[in-house]
Structures are given as C-alpha cells and as structure tokens.
Structure 1
Amino acid sequence: MDLLRSADRQPKPEPDVLLDAYRWMVIGRRLDRQTRELAGISGPSASQSDLTAACQVGAVLALAPRDWVFPTHREYIALIARGIDPLEALALPWGDWHCGYDPCAHRVAPQCAPAVTQIERAVGLTHAAHLDDDNIVSLVFVRGDSITEREFSEACYFAMTWAAPVVIFVQHNFGRHSRFAMDASADQDNLDLSFPRGLVARHGSAPLVDGTDVLGVFAAVTAAAERARAEHAPMIVEALPYRVLSHGGADRDGDGVEVEERAGSPVERLEAELREFGVLDDKAVRRVAEEAEAMAADLRDRLSAEPKPDPAELFDHVYAEPTPQLREQQTLLRTEQGLPGNL
C-alpha cells in the first residue's frame, strides 16, 4: 500500500480540518461498531459498509458546503460527517423512511441501494445547477464492482456530453480489484468501460489512492473537485480501501484483510501523523473519544425507544397537493384512530 500513498499529499488540510478528519474517523468507527452490535438484537445496522472510513471522511471534507454528495446505502460515516443526525442516517437500513434526513438542507441525496444509478442523478442535478449559474460539484460514491454496469458507462457518457463537474469516487475491494480499471489501454474488448476510458483519456489518468489514508483521499478529491469546478468537466478518483470486517454479519468467508495487521489502523496512523504535525495531543484524543462514546450511547438509547408511527402519514406523500378523496380518507382514519389534526 505504500506505493499508493501520495508522496506529499497536497493540498494538506488546515489544522481544523485535520482535527475534523480525526474526529469523524473516531466517531464513525465507534458508531459503526455500535450499530453492528445492536444489529444482532434489534434495529438497523450500518455494518453493510466496508468500513472505508478514510474514504468517506476524506472525500466529504474535501467538498465545499454548497456541493452535493450522492451516497450508496453504505456511506453511513460520510452522512454523519456531513452533519446528518446518526439516527436519521439509519432510516433506510432501519426500514423507517426511504430518506430520514432533509437532502436539500445537507446537500446529500437519498442513499441509493441499486448499483450506480445515483451517478446519473448526480449528473442531472449538477448540470441543472450550472444552467442556473450555480457552480457546484457533486461527489458520487461508487463501488469498484459496479464499474462494468451499463449505467456506469451511460452516466459517464452524459457527464462528458454535458460537461458536468461530477467527481466519481470509485472504491475498489482491495482483494478483488482491477488495479487500473479506468486505464484507457486496458481490456479494450470490454465495451462497458469504453465511456469511462474516454473520460479518463480526455482528462488524464484517474488518481489511485490508498483508501485507508484519509489525508491522501482528501488531497485527491480536493484536486479533482477543484479541477472539475474550474474546467466544468467530470473527474474520476479511484481508491483501494481494506475491508476491515466481513461484508455482513453472517459472512465467515475471511475475504477481508484486517487493517490492524498492517502497520496500525487508519485511525492510529492518522493520530500518529497529527501528533507529529502538532495539532493533536492527549487532551484532544480523550475529548474525541468521550464525544464518540456519548454519541454511541445517545444512538443506543434512541434506537431502543419504541417507535410511534402515525398511520395517517400514509396520505402525506402520495401527491404534492392532496386530492379531496385523500383528505376525506385521512380525516376518516384520524377519527377512527382518535388522532388529532387532518389534511
């Protein structure tokens, strides 16, 4: 992995961003472990992610507040690093709501379970924003095993055609990756990759970064976002993260590689670097650890509370403007259930 780590990893974050990176890495790991523990009892779990905390935190911190994030259903840590309430970020795996947070308030699209379909949405939104003179960048999280899907090529085609400043962030599975999947000279017979290769050939080689190095990811995504914004062009960044734990709670295939077995975990490596930079000390480490434990306890308590759904919500989102028939049906339901209010 040393060959994949950027030599200078420029631009280097400001001290407050460095501390934010460490803070969200620690909090993300703790909350992910908490949901994994609770999954065996009741409630949701964010553990379907590959625990690519460095990829998620580094990529999100590289964006401007006005930029958009398009996650898959696995980017739980990216969501909370973007400011979303940890409980709201669990709405989808919990089976509560399709999207438990306000996408416009956080500039984070709803989590997407179907493979790579969120890329086309990102391209459409970004293109529409630029037609309205809103110079934003959209970051799309994509799994490496999805790059051969037809939707991936279609999205890259639209991104190139419309010159949409979208950063496509591909996270490969380290054990089963195609190291130069976006290389324009590799595997020429695979037509599904023709458009992505054309994108890379037009804008230069896609940077390949260590997916466990949050500062390397930050530098790569920052550079890609700046170039996408300045040139109104789509960009691709590839990362090689380790899968720390199994893919799911029932997995016992041992496919993952334990990061702790390789010169320290990403959090430990980052902590050592920040101590060398002089921006982290024992007091700050304790403070972040205490914050992470408090957030885990709060999440645990709120997940344990018995939900009290309002059955009348069935009528709230059928149409933007409820029809007279829906108003009548909801009023009848509220009357029968003894619920206050109506449409």
Structure 2
Amino acid sequence: MTNHPEFIEYTGNADCPESYLLPSATPVQLIAPDGSAAPDADYKETYNLPDPHTLVDGYERLVVGRRINDQANALVRQGRMAVYPSSTGQEACQVAADMCLRAGDWLFPTYRDTVAVLGRGVDPMEAFESLRGDWHSGFDPHRYNTALPTTPLATQLLHAVGVAHAAKLRGEDTVVLALCGDGSTSEGDFHEALNFAAVFHVPVVFLIQNNQYAISVPLIHQSVAPSLAHKAVGYGMPGERVDGNDLAALLAVVGHAVERARNGGGPALVEAHTYRMESHTNADDATRYRTPEEVAQWVPKDPLLRLEKYLRDAGRLAAADTARISAAAEAIAKVLRDGLNAETVADPADLFAHVYAEPTPQLREQARQLSDELAAASLEGAHQ
C-alpha cells in the first residue's frame, strides 16, 4: 500500500487497491485517425472531449508548429542553422503540454521541443539562436517559466522534480510538466526523478513522447515492459497511455494529470504514442534503420490533418479560419527567415560576461588581455 492516504480516492477496485495506478488497456483516443469521434471506451468516464473553442485553439497551434518545423528544416538546408531536431508528426504532444499549463507553471523541454518553447511565449529568435550556435542559451527561463531545452537525455527530469519540490515547500499551486522521449526512460536520471517525485509527493507530470526510436534504437530494444506507462506502477504513481497524435485525447489526459497534481494528488506519468516522421536531426539518415513502409503507416495518423478533418465535419472550421491561421503561421516563419538570414556580429567580450555573476580576477585578466590583443590587431590593420 502507498504511504500517501490521499491516493485512496483514486482506488480502482477493492481487490487491488493500487489498480488505479495502471494505464488503460489501449492508449486513450477521443478522435480517430479518420477525424471521426472515437468509439466509446471504458476511460470515457474520466476523459471527455474538449470543447470546440479549445480544439480550434489547439488546431491553430498545430498549424503554427508544423510551419515552424518546415521553415526550420529549410533553414538548416540553407546553412543558416547548425542542427535542427524536427518534431514533425509529434507536435500535438508539445501543443497539449502548453495548453494544459498556466502561466505560473513550469515546463521542462528537451532539444526536440522547440514548438512547446514557442508556445510558452518565447520569442522565436531567442528560441532558435542556440540552434544556430550564436548564443549560449537564447532566453531567460524565469521570464517564461520554461527551462532551457536540454540535449543530455533525462537530466531535465531531475531539474523539474527539484522545482516542483520547491513549489510544494513554498505552498504554491505550481505544477511542473517535464517532457522526455522514450530513450530517456533507459537513463538512470529517469529512475531517480520518478522515485524522488513519488517519495516526496511533488506536483510534477512526466510526459513521455514515445516516438518509437531513441535515435536509431527502436523501442523493442529499449524496454520489455507492457508499456512505458506501466513503469509508473513501480514508483507508486499512476501511469496512463494516450494516442500522441490525438490532440483532444492529449488535452484530456495531460490536463487530468496536471489538475490532479495541482490539487495535491502527486506526480503522474503519461506515455504519448506518436512517431518521429523526420530523421533524428539533419545529421541523421533514418533510412538506415527504418523502412519507407513503416513511415508510410503513420502518415494517415497525422495529428494536424486528423483534427482539421474533425473540426471541418463539425462545422467549426471555415475557409476564413484556415486562411487566418495560415497567415499567422507564415508571419512567424518570416520572423525566423529574416532573423536567421541576417548575419550576426559576435562580441568577443561575451566570452567572459556570463561565466560568473561576479567575474574572478583570472577572468578579468583574461578579458583585458583579449581586449589589448584585439585593439593591437585593429591598429595594425589600420596602418596597412
């Protein structure tokens, strides 16, 4: 039995008091791939279809996210960015993460979650400058309550748990949502984060974007658990599975976990089943480890087209709406094009400006030496 009596209200059945921890037998789905409402299932008593206004808002965010991915991929090919980990096909997970959080909540993203970062209000150029290699981080995490995207797998989960623990100690109603991929579940930091979160009963939701591959390693070679959501049971927290290409289901499932955490219910683990349509990054060749036939199976499950079909059939999306939404997405793409096509002027003094809050004597001396050398070089150039 769990040490937290407040969990008892979630008990699923008297014969197995911890049955509420187990995920649904199949991933929660509210809108089918063909755009129709999914058939009734056992979980319908817990997860309801969001209202049309929410879904239209989500659709607009999906359109923007897809346009961002397309523009970023083009800029990489043009040599304007060093690298870009595309999230094409799995944007719904990131959109849902944003929509389920309040402004005062915290988001901890991975390197593939640029769409989620922009959804938190971060300036597009601030979000992309680090991918171009022009700046250290790009934006102030405290301004947006959004941590800097991390490349090392699962390290952000520990940071997320720490922020959630601090919020609990301060008596805040802050919820922290930590994004990660299926590859992160093979890391020791994943275990440490979930164990600490459960033991200290902190308000954090772990959202696994299971896109089937950890670079080139398929999920079948990473875990033999019934699902990644089942891993939650061992920590004493509820786990849930959701169709990661169904924004409606994501909003219902992640929203439920977030509000449960906000109301003192503790942490939860959500596994979103989705697919990485593009290569791991522009430096990767996905054809070396997966077939075109496999990728083709996921094309009809596209989260953007699925929701668009549903909204059109429901009479909630007119031609004027799609034109307005497309224009808004194109405006953001133009900001990226203009900003990343502009040449930047590097200031060598920045090497020393953000190392310590109070520069050490050694740093001050190094800064002076560099300044003197640059001044001498400039003077020599002027005389030539």
Question: TM-score normalised to the size of structure 1?
Answer: 0.85
Distance apart, 1:20 and its partner CA: 2.4
1:130-151: CA deviation from partner (whole Å, max 9, x where unpaired): 2111221111111112212211
Q: For 2:177, what is the secondary structure of its paired residue?
A: strand
Question: Which of the residues 224, 230, 241 maps onto 1:208?
Answer: 241
Q: 2:22 — aligned with what?
A: none
Q: What is the CA–CA distance in structure 2 between the aligned matches of 1:14 and 1:212, rounded to whole Å?
A: 18
Asked if the contact 1:141/1:168 (under 8 Å) is kept, the reply is: yes
Q: 1:5 — aligned with what?
A: 29
Q: 1:137 — aligned with what?
A: 175
Q: 2:344 — aligned with what?
A: 307
AA aligned opposite 2:312: R
Which deviates further from its counterpart, 235-244 or 142-151? 142-151
Question: Which of the residues 288, 300, 304 maps onto 1:267?
Answer: 304
Question: Which of the residues 196, 202, 214 maps onto 1:158?
Answer: 196
Question: Which of the residues 182, 194, 197 maps onto 2:233?
Answer: 197
AA aligned opposite 2:54: V
Distance apart, 1:69 and its partner CA: 0.6
Question: Of the two, which has the highest radius of gyration?
Answer: 2
Distance apart, 1:321 and its partner CA: 1.9
Q: What is the CA–CA distance in structure 1 between the aligned matches of 2:227 and 2:312, rounded to whole Å?
A: 36
Asked if the contact 1:242/1:259 (under 8 Å) is kept, the reply is: no
Question: Which of the residues 260, 266, 279 maps onto 1:233?
Answer: 266
AA aligned opposite 1:163: H
Larger RCO of the pair (alpha carbons < 8 Å, separation 6+) = 2
How many aligned residue pairs are there? 323
AA aligned opposite 1:68: W
Distance apart, 1:324 and its partner CA: 5.5
Asked if the contact 1:207/1:236 (under 8 Å) is kept, the reply is: yes
Q: Indicate yes or no: 2:147 matched with 1:123.
A: no
The runs of 5 or more residues in structure 1 that have no matched partner are 185-192, 339-343
Q: For 1:231, what is the secondary structure of its paired residue?
A: coil
AA aligned opposite 1:30: R
The runs of 5 or more residues in structure 2 that have no matched partner are 1-25, 31-39, 376-384
Distance apart, 1:280 and its partner CA: 2.3
AA aligned opposite 1:97: W
AA aligned opposite 1:216: A
Q: 2:76 — aligned with what?
A: 39
Aligned ranges for residues 104-115 of structure 1 at < 5 Å?
Answer: 104-115=142-153
Question: Which of the residues 110, 124, 128 maps onto 1:72?
Answer: 110
Q: 1:341 — aligned with what?
A: none
Distance apart, 1:64 and its partner CA: 1.3
Question: TM-score normalised to the size of structure 2?
Answer: 0.76
- Alignment RMSD (CA, Å): 2.6
Asked if the contact 1:172/1:238 (under 8 Å) is kept, the reply is: yes
Q: What is the CA–CA distance in structure 1 between the aligned matches of 2:27 and 2:152, rounded to whole Å?
A: 33
AA aligned opposite 1:151: D
Q: What is the CA–CA distance in structure 2 between the aligned matches of 1:14 and 1:82, rounded to whole Å?
A: 22
AA aligned opposite 1:180: P
Q: What is the CA–CA distance in structure 2 between the aligned matches of 1:321 and 1:279, rounded to whole Å?
A: 56
Q: For 1:207, what is the secondary structure of its paired residue?
A: strand
Q: 2:252 — aligned with what?
A: 219
Q: 1:190 — aligned with what?
A: none
- Give % identity: 39
Q: For 1:257, what is the secondary structure of its paired residue?
A: helix
